[in-house]
């Protein structure tokens, strides 16, 4: 509990507050979003202690989800993909002259969902970590293969492209020194690569810079005009009454449960959770035709689910060291910058920090609510900020941030190379998220295989002596076959 | 198209790049080239399958690609310029060029992006954090 209390120090409070404000601000700007904001912010946390640094990033992530609903509601342009489902009812409600009611419902539902998943995270992660500690290298290899099979199946419509993305991530992770023999691999005479490619450069290049490039390539030299927002001016149209909030309680709880379950599975993501929750809310409604026309339950369903994913995403990260989403992968980079290795051992070695992180998450929810209540009117103005300033500033911040984290311009060069790779991959339908997760897991995967071979005397049939690993490998095979047939069916339906 | 690329990429990695760029090791249970070779074979096989079974692709027009090439060239050039002159001198020019390319013509926003933002970064990084700029 001492760790939990650490989160409530004045310094951490300030960093969580700062993170939430930054997150809500950038979430409200269409085109930036919390993932890019986190990617940019990570190198700047280098000089901080681990807890304030990670608490700040958690604040950015949580604040970004709240801010992302603002452009979805006002412009029908979600600031983040997660908020796309929010726009289905949020935008029509704003068109009826109730933009503040729509954004406030999004805020309350988001906090409710987020708090629900945080409670689940805090209660289940420690027992799960104890269970994970009983796993040996054979089980870890099997678990990673299972993770890859789920990721490649769930992200994108082509299983083959998913496998190639994961394979490329593993290939680039092999650059540097071989972990067993300490012999150099794929250095091409560049001794800066001796320690491998810097994760920060790869992540920021593929996530932030490639996204900026994608947006810039679509710009046609015309600066977008500011958004005009009409409101009725009636007080009841600018707030959410307790009766309205209470009427959505089951919708929000169901959304939070969907988000938590899907968030705990690597690869599914908050967008899928939001749409699934929205579909359930519509299907179970007595008045389904009101959905899509400004029903606040539609907003509550989408926002509670997409926000619940954030906390749940940390379950596989903290218990197994496997990032469930790109946001979690970025939090991993922050852990690594501060010399920490996420996984079950983190609870043993850095228990106080983990509970400090939990405390920061709870704190971030409260601050998110307060800042959201006060700041929504301001974020409404932010949606009309010019993208010329936003993107040029984001690029400069990425350059400085990566240079600080990697100690020079070589890291910036790597970032630019991976920006191009990320741009090309997503242009041709290859998932950069699978790539980054595979890149992160690559060194651990190789070491675990080596340990597994040592344990089994290099005889793979001996794996039958490890029932958990065998079950995971069978599950991987089954999920792979299932995803293969599911994708084939989806392709056939598309052709029809 | 990408199937052909990855089929050839995997083959090139397996037959040329990995033997040339990975030194052999004597000890351990896993040779240094085992994982890279396994990955290269996987990429090549999946590429071959993609050649047979084409999938849907995200559409990008040639104009989009050309614009991207132009932006990448600007970024690469500024990276090189930073190695010669430093971030302090290159960043305002880079921000200005990018803003003009995006279509920004309003003086207030141009000043904010090309002078205000680099100045803010300099103040925050060099003065507050006391870290060196690239």
Distance of CA B85 to CAs A414, B2, B79, B88, B89, Å?
20, 39, 10, 8, 6
**What pLDDT is attached to residue B59?**
57
pLDDT band for position A226 (cuts 50, 70, 90): very low
Question: Which of A186, A386, A427 comes nearest B22 by C-beta?
Answer: A186
The closest alpha carbon to A271, from A217, A327, A215, belongs to A327
Among A439, A450, A438, residue whose Cα is nearest residue A181: A450
Least Cα distance to A107 among A257, A299, A378 occurs for A299
The percentage of chain A sitting over the pLDDT mark of 70, rounded to a whole number, equals 91
CB within 8 Å: A386 and B109: yes
The closest of A119, A22, A20, A3 to A353, measured between CA atoms, is: A3
Residues 6+ apart with CB under 8 A from A460: none
Residues near A263 by beta carbon (within 8 Å), at least 6 away in sequence: A117, A270, A273, A308, A309, A310, A311, A312, A313, A315, A324, A325
Q: How confident is the prediction for chain A on average, in pLDDT?
A: 83
Considering only the beta carbons, identify the residue of A157, A181, A216 that sits closest to B27.
Answer: A181
* A387 has a chain B CB within 8 A of its CB: yes
pLDDT in tens, A140-151: 888 888 888 887
Provide the token pair at A240.
């959410």
State whether B27 and A412 contact (CB < 8 Å).
no
Give CA torsion, residues A47, A53, A54, A60, to 10 deg.
Answer: -130
Residues of chain B with C-beta less than 8 angstroms from the C-beta of A420: 72
User: What gap in Å lies between CA A340 and CA A332, rounded to an integer?
Assistant: 9
Closest alpha carbon within chain A to B110: A389
Do A34 and A27 meet the contact criterion of CB atoms below 8 Å apart? yes
Question: Quick check: B49 contacting A, CB < 8 Å?
Answer: yes
Q: Is the pLDDT of residue A473 over 50?
A: yes
Per residue of chain B (134 residues), what is the pLDDT tens digit?
788 999 999 999 999 999 999 888 777 788 899 999 999 999 999 999 998 876 665 556 788 888 899 999 999 999 999 999 999 999 999 999 999 988 888 898 899 999 999 999 899 888 887 778 88
Which residue of B77, B98, B100 is the best one to mutate when testing the A interface, meaning the one whose CB has the most A CBs within 10 A? B98
Contact A181 B76 (CB under 8 A): no
CA distance linking residue A49 with residue A263, whole number of Å: 28
Contact assignment for B125 to A213 by CB distance below 8 Å: no
> Which of A160, A204, A455 should one mutate to test binding to chain B, selecting the residue with the greatest count of B CBs within 10 A?
A160
H or E stretch at A200:
helix A199-203
Residue A192, pLDDT > 80, answer: yes
Rounded mean pLDDT, A395-404: 87
Nearest CB neighbour to B102, from listed A181, A219, A413: A219
Chain B hits for A174, CB-CB cut-off 8 Å, are 35-36, 39
Q: What is the pLDDT of residue A95?
A: 82
Q: Taking residues A348-362, what's their average pLDDT? A: 85
> pLDDT tens, A2-16?
677 777 888 889 999
The tokens describing A187, both together, are 């250095």
Given a cut of 70, is residue A268 above it in pLDDT? Answer: no
Residues 218-237 of A with CB under 8 A from B: 218-223
Contacts of A408 in chain B (CB under 8 A): 134
More confident residue, B66 or A405: B66
Q: Does B118 touch chain A (CB under 8 A)?
A: yes
Q: Is the pLDDT of residue A27 over 60?
A: yes
Contacts (Cβ under 8 Å, ≥6 apart) of A247: A297
What count of other Cβ atoms lies within 10 Å of the Cβ of residue B59? 7
Cβ-based neighbours of B27, under 8 Å, separated by 6 or more:
A180, A181
Distance from CA of A383 to the nearest CA of B (A): 15
Tell the burial category of A164 from Cβ atoms under 10 Å away from its Cβ (0-12, 13-18, 19+). Answer: buried
Indicate if the pLDDT at residue A418 is higher than 50.
yes
pLDDT reported for residue A78: 62
CA distance A313 to A216: 30
The token duo for A104 is 């406030």
Please choose, from the candidates A222, A178, A172, A215, the residue with its C-alpha nearest in 3D space to the C-alpha of residue A197. Answer: A172
Task: Please give the pLDDT value at position A85.
Answer: 82
- Please choose, from the candidates A104, A106, A205, A101, the residue with its C-alpha nearest in 3D space to the C-alpha of residue A435: A205
The single residue listed with the structure tokens 């069916």 is A489
At B88 the pLDDT is 92
- pLDDT for residue A472 is more than 70: yes
Asked whether the beta carbons of A308 and A259 are under 8 A apart, the reply is yes
Worst-scoring range by mean pLDDT, A7-21, A356-370, A389-403, B49-63?
B49-63
Judge whether A200 and A402 are in contact, CB under 8 Å. Answer: yes
Between A323 and A109, residue with greater pLDDT: A109
Q: What ipTM goes with this model? A: 0.93
Contact A347, A129 (CB under 8 A): yes
Confirm if A29 and A383 have CB atoms less than 8 A apart: yes
Q: What is the pTM of this model?
A: 0.81
């Amino acid at each position: 509990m001492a760790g939990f209390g650490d989160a409530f120090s004045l310094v951490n409070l300030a960093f969580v507050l700062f993170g939430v404000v930054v997150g809500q601000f950038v979430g409200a700007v269409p085109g930036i979003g919390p993932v890019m904001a986190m990617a940019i912010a990570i190198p700047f946390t280098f000089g901080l202690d681990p807890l304030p640094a990670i608490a700040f990033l958690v604040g950015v992530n949580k604040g970004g989800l709240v801010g992302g609903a603002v452009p979805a509601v006002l412009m029908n342009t979600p600031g983040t993909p997660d908020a796309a489902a929010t726009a289905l009812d949020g935008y029509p409600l704003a068109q009826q002259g109730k933009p503040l009611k729509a954004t406030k419902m999004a805020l309350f539902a988001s906090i409710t969902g987020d708090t629900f998943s945080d409670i689940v995270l805090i209660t289940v992660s420690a027992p799960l970590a104890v269970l994970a500690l009983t796993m040996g290298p054979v089980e870890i290899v099997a678990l990673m293969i299972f993770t890859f099979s789920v990721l490649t199946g769930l992200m994108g419509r082509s299983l083959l492209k998913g496998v190639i993305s994961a394979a490329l991530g593993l290939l680039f992770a092999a650059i540097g020194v071989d972990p067993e023999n300490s012999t150099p691999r794929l250095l091409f005479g560049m001794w800066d690569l001796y320690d491998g490619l810097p994760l920060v450069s790869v992540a920021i290049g593929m996530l932030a810079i490639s996204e900026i490039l994608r947006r810039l390539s679509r710009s046609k030299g015309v600066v977008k005009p500011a958004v005009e927002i009409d409101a009725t001016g009636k007080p009841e149209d600018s707030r959410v009454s307790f009766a309205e909030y209470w009427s959505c309680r089951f919708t929000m709880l169901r959304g939070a449960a969907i988000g938590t379950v899907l968030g705990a599975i690597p690869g599914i993501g908050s967008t899928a959770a939001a749409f699934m929750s929205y579909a359930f809310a519509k299907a179970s409604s007595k008045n389904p035709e009101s959905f899509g026309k400004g029903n606040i339950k539609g907003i509550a369903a989408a926002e509670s689910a997409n926000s619940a994913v954030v906390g749940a995403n940390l379950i596989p990260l903290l218990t197994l060291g496997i990032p469930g989403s790109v946001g979690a992968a970025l939090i991993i980079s922050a852990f690594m910058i501060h010399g920490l290795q996420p996984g079950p051992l983190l609870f043993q070695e850095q228990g106080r920090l983990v509970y400090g992180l939990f405390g920061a998450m709870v704190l971030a929810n409260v601050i998110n609510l307060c800042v959201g209540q006060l700041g929504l009117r301001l974020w409404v103005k932010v949606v009309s900020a010019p993208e010329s300033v936003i993107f040029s500033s984001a690029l400069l911040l990425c350059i400085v941030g990566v240079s600080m984290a990697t100690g020079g311009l070589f890291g910036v060069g790597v970032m630019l190379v991976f920006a191009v790779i990320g741009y090309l991959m997503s242009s041709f339908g290859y998932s950069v998220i699978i790539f980054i997760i595979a890149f992160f897991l690559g060194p651990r995967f190789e070491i675990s295989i080596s340990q597994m071979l040592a344990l089994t005397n290099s005889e793979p049939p001996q794996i039958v002596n490890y029932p958990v690993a065998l079950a995971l490998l069978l599950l991987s095979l089954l999920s792979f076959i299932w995803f293969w047939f599911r994708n084939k069916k989806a392709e056939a339906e598309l052709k029809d | 198209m990408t199937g052909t690329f990855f089929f050839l990429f995997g083959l090139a990695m397996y037959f040329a790049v990995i033997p040339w760029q990975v030194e052999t090791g004597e000890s351990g249970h896993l040779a240094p080239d085992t994982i890279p070779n396994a990955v290269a074979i996987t990429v090549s096989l999946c590429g071959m399958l993609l050649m047979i079974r084409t999938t849907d692709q995200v559409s990008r027009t040639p104009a989009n690609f050309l614009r991207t090439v132009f932006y990448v060239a600007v970024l690469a050039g500024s990276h090189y310029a930073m190695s010669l002159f430093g971030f302090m001198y290159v960043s305002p020019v880079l921000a200005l060029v990018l803003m003009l390319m995006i279509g920004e013509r309003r003086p207030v926003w141009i000043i904010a992006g090309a002078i205000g933002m680099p100045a803010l970064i300099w103040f925050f990084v060099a003065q507050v954090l006391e870290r060196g700029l690239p």
